[in-house]
Amino acid sequence: MKLAVVVQRYGADLNGGAELHARYIAEHLARHAQVEVLTTCARDYITWRNELDPGPDVVNDVPVRRFPVSRERDVDDFGQRSTQVFERRHSVAAELAWLRSEGPTSPALVNHLRHHRADYDYCIFFSFRYYHAYHGLRVTAGRSLLVPTAERDPALGLRIFAGSFRSVRALMYNSYEERALINAVSQNDSVPGVVVGIGSEVPTDPQPDRFRQVTGIAGPTIIYVGRIDENKGCRELFEYFRRYARIAPALTLVLIGKPMMPIPEHPQIRHLGFVSDQEKFDAMAAADLLVMPSYYESLSMVTLEAWALGRPVLANGRCDVLAGQCARSNAGLYYDSFEEFAETLHTILSQSALRRALGANGRSYFNTHYAWPVIERKYLNMLDQLERADQSDDDRPEPLPGWLGRRRRDLPPGRELVDQLPTGPASVTEGTRES
Amino acid sequence: MAEFNIRSDSVDVTRIMEQIRERIREKRGADYTEQQIHELATVKLESFLDPGQVRSDLVEHFRQLDPPGRIDPIPPWPVTAPPPEVFDFDQETIYVSSRGPMGKLIRLIRKLLNPLLKLFFNPTPVVFALSRQAEINAWTVQLLQRQTDVIERVSTQFERVGKKFAAREELDVLNYEVLNNLVVEMTRLSVDVKNHKMLVESVAGRLDFSERRSRALESVVQKRSPRPPDATETEGESADASATGSGRTRRRRRRSRRRPGGAADGGTNAAPSTAGNGSAEATTASTPSSEATSADVPSGEATTTVAASGEAAHEVASGEAIATVAPSDVTTPVAAATPSPASTAPNSAADAAPTDPPPAIAPAPIAAPSPTPAAAPTADSTEPSRPDADNGTSEQ
């Protein structure tokens, strides 16, 4: 079986969520099938500037084929078009123009898929919202799988993507909440789908004492790992922690990640910057819990890593995915306000038995659902199911409206549509057909 | 905080969250959240503040004030090109030509043909009107130039005013914040003051009750300790002697009280008391006491002693009562001397006992001392009996 993994960027040093996800999947599926990665020459997801050489390459023993991006992103143009399709009534043509503006616009990649699609048994696309995924799915409709990595953002409400969700052979979701969102926005109940997620390479023997010796941090500790960004809920986290720290003077908040916003000067907040994986896991093992303040996540790998290390998680309850995962795993608590933040944090920190039980549940949840053998098996089972289904290769994507229909401004704003989607943790039993 | 019952495999996060949220709701019942404080601050402040001092609708009034509309700066004058040049028009203008030397020839020809032109129409009024129009245009240009200068000056001043106004708006926002915070804090403080007032009232009530209780207890002690003077006189015993040995009497009284167990051992000598003070010791003794002697009667068990002034004591027994009247034998029931939780209550038996009048006391011979009357401790006794705590020894 030959598989193509199609992703917007690819590299051993690229740590974006979807890109890392794609790399992990490609490397693990390469043990069971012939895998080739099709991607662009870009490294920067803002400009899509061609920084890598086009042509074949090899990354961690996986063959990679890169294609140039025909034009870099014009940020101003992209902003204007985003406003147009997210905030106003618009047309299909406007959405397609927005997609071209967003990029990475690589007709060469799409043409390669069009001409060589017969060379691959299946093409696994990552990130529904990019140019390569939309047009790639249209030229490989009969043999395409999609890992949407969708979250509650206005792009999900665009009409063109609903057709993508309905025309793929299968969907590999990251969470039940993501599946519920996509089902609601596209009514793709007939498309096979499975909640897979992603595993993580977690060391079996992290050294929390080493972390405490190196940093000198003692006493109760909570940790945040990730981009320190307002969009990740860090401003709210800082505010809540400063208030809570007044009654918990021994508690320390450890931050690991690249700061995109000012970090408040506080004696109980320690920013360690960007650290190695070993240091990161040592720190997570030394912490009493991981706090995840993000509002929007399709799948938090850090949360899964914390659970793999047996650490409970305190998540933002306004993120449906995180709250749902905490409830399903029984491995973390969540908060909607400062009062709940203080109560949940105090509950976990003050009750060691509960903390241990949550951590044990997290470890068990990770091993049951997110260990690599489980992930690989889910992918292989889905591919086997598609092969047995004997679907014709001549599947056509949903046709676009005609010239006039594409220019008819009858589509609602994307944000308005997304705001109407169901919220809250999703039920495990609901959703599309499981494989 | 209540601990969760935890089994490692049975943690239910949903239930824990429900408990936490329930706990938060309970706390809100006892304490005010920030949101509730703000709500309180926006409603009737008369409930919390002195209406004569603070306007209750201060915040609301501030909010209802018409927010000043945003002042857009005057756009600059759209100068797309320099103003057109004023065209001077006179009577010769219609004949001139701009073709250089040829123009002079053309002008000459036009002049020559002018009479012919006048055969078709009269150009003079046209020339006059156009020349006047040129003058008007020149005047208009000057006027517009002046107006432009005025507008520029006004715009400059308006910008200055706008900046001042913007600064004022920012100040207003700050003022509002300060005012809002002030009202919220005042509300919070008022609530705290109310709570503290209630707390003080509660503590004052408890203190008052404690004082009344302590006075009641003091009165009990005072009523128990003094001996009615007529009792000593009736006894005819030596009050003088007791005066010299009062301290000793008290000590003896305590010691003899610790021998209620003697009743159990020497129960045959005990006699039920009819003049008891309601103590348990007095009522439990039911052994006939026909053979009893005063020395064999343990204090507080078969006898009830009514102490008076520490100078004399009467041991009263019913039936074949034996009364021992000796200052050194004065005993006091333990129950009366040591207030139990029940005895501390007003109107208890212990309180009522001292007020009972002493019964008639029959004189009796002084009994012989018991060899070891209090050797065995009683069930009620918590301290071992002492060999010297013997009634008889003192009488000897």
3-state class (DSSP) for residue B237? coil
What pLDDT digit, counting tens, does each position of A45-61 carry?
889 999 999 999 999 99
* Across A141-158, average pLDDT: 90
3-state class (DSSP) for residue A124? strand
Whether residues A351 and B8 touch (CB distance < 8 A) is answered with no
CA–CA gap between residue B212 and residue A9 (Å, rounded): 85
- ipTM of this complex prediction, to 2 decimal places: 0.79
Q: DSSP H helical segments within B238-348, as ranges?
A: 239-244, 246-257, 261-265, 280-284, 334-337
**Chain B residues lying within 8 Å of A361, measured CB to CB:** 8-9, 11
C-beta separation of A177 from A320 below 8 A = yes
* pLDDT attached to residue B176: 84
Q: DSSP H helical segments within B225-347, as ranges?
A: 229-235, 239-244, 246-257, 261-265, 280-284, 334-337
C-beta separation of A183 from A160 below 8 A = no
* pLDDT attached to residue A98: 95
Whether residues B13 and A344 touch (CB distance < 8 A) is answered with no
Whether residues B16 and A333 touch (CB distance < 8 A) is answered with yes
Of the candidates A329, A333, A354, the beta carbon closest to that of B17 is on: A333
Q: Where are the beta strands (DSSP E) in chain B?
A: 304-308, 312-316
Q: CB within 8 A of A423, min separation 6: which ones?
A: A320
* pLDDT attached to residue B82: 67
**Chain A residues lying within 8 Å of B14, measured CB to CB:** 327
Range A371-376, long-range pairs (CB < 8 A, 24+ positions):
A371/A199, A372/A28, A372/A199, A374/A199, A375/A25, A375/A28, A375/A196, A375/A197, A375/A198, A375/A199, A376/A28, A376/A29, A376/A31, A376/A32
Nearest Cα of chain A lies from the Cα of B63 at a distance, in angstroms, of 26
* pLDDT attached to residue A146: 95
Residue of B nearest to A353 (CA): B6
What pLDDT digit, counting tens, does each position of A367-409 carry?
988 889 999 999 999 999 988 876 655 567 888 888 888 899 8
Q: Where are the domains of chain A?
A: 2-199+372-419, 208-369
* pLDDT attached to residue B309: 37
* Same fold yes or no, A2-199+372-419 and A208-369: yes
Is A263's pLDDT higher than 50?
yes
C-beta separation of A6 from A136 below 8 A = yes
**Chain B residues lying within 8 Å of A357, measured CB to CB:** 6-9, 11
* pLDDT attached to residue B62: 62
CA–CA gap between residue B42 and residue A39 (Å, rounded): 59
The DSSP call for residue A232 is G
pLDDT over 90 for what percent of chain A?
Answer: 66
- Encoded tokens for B351: 């309180």
Helix/strand/coil (H, E, C) string of B44-96? CCCCCCCCCCCCCCHHHHHHHCCCCCCCCCCCCCCCCCCCCCCCCCCCCHHHC
3-state class (DSSP) for residue B142? helix
Nearest Cα of chain B lies from the Cα of A49 at a distance, in angstroms, of 40
Helix (H) or strand (E) holding A3: strand A2-6
Report which of A203, A210, A228 is spatially closest to residue A283, judged by C-alpha positions: A210
Of the candidates B12, B21, B33, the beta carbon closest to that of A330 is on: B12
The DSSP call for residue A84 is H
Of the candidates B3, B11, B14, the beta carbon closest to that of A361 is on: B11
Q: Tell me the pLDDT band of A431, cut-offs 50, 70 and 90.
A: very low
Flag residues of chain B having pLDDT under 70.
1-9, 28-84, 86, 226-396
* pLDDT attached to residue B364: 39
Chain A interface, Cβ < 8 Å to B: 326-327, 329-334, 339-340, 343-344, 346-347, 350-351, 353-354, 356-358, 360-361
What pLDDT digit, counting tens, does each position of A14-26 carry?
877 889 899 999 9
Whether residues B20 and A347 touch (CB distance < 8 A) is answered with yes
Q: DSSP H helical segments within A390-424, as ranges?
A: 403-406, 414-419
* pLDDT attached to residue A79: 92
CA–CA gap between residue A333 and residue A355 (Å, rounded): 10
Nearest Cα of chain B lies from the Cα of A391 at a distance, in angstroms, of 42
Is A260's pLDDT higher than 50?
yes
A2-199+372-419: which CATH number, 3.40.50.2000, 3.80.30.20, 3.40.50.150, 3.30.1330.60? 3.40.50.2000
Whether residues A346 and B1 touch (CB distance < 8 A) is answered with yes
One DSSP character per residue, A295-327 reads S--S--HHHHHHHHTT--EEEETTSHHHHHHHH
Tell me which CATH homologous superfamily contains domain A208-369. Answer: Glycogen Phosphorylase B; (3.40.50.2000)
Please state, rounded to an integer, the average pLDDT across all residues of chain A: 90
What pLDDT digit, counting tens, does each position of A220-242 carry?
999 999 989 888 899 999 999 99
Whether residues B20 and A330 touch (CB distance < 8 A) is answered with no
Q: Tell me the pLDDT band of A4, cut-offs 50, 70 and 90.
A: very high
**Chain B residues lying within 8 Å of A339, measured CB to CB:** 24, 27, 33
Is A153's pLDDT higher than 90?
no
- Bridge-based pairing of strands A55-59 and A62-67 is antiparallel
Q: CB within 8 A of B384, min separation 6: which ones?
A: B377
Q: B333 to each of A156, A428, B277, B353, how far by Cα in Å?
A: 91, 77, 8, 10
C-beta separation of B271 from B285 below 8 A = yes
Residue of B nearest to A330 (CA): B13
C-beta separation of A283 from A272 below 8 A = yes
CA–CA gap between residue A176 and residue A254 (Å, rounded): 30
C-beta separation of A299 from A198 below 8 A = yes
Q: Where are the domains of chain B?
A: 20-224, 237-395
HSE (CB half, 13 Å, CA atoms) of B233?
A: 3
Integer-rounded Cα radius of gyration of chain B: 58
* pLDDT attached to residue A396: 72
Range scoring the smallest mean pLDDT among A274-278, A346-350, B6-10, B178-182: B6-10
* pLDDT attached to residue A416: 92
CA–CA gap between residue A153 and residue A102 (Å, rounded): 15
Q: Where are the beta strands (DSSP E) in A168-316?
A: 170-173, 193-195, 221-225, 252-256, 269-271, 289-292, 313-316
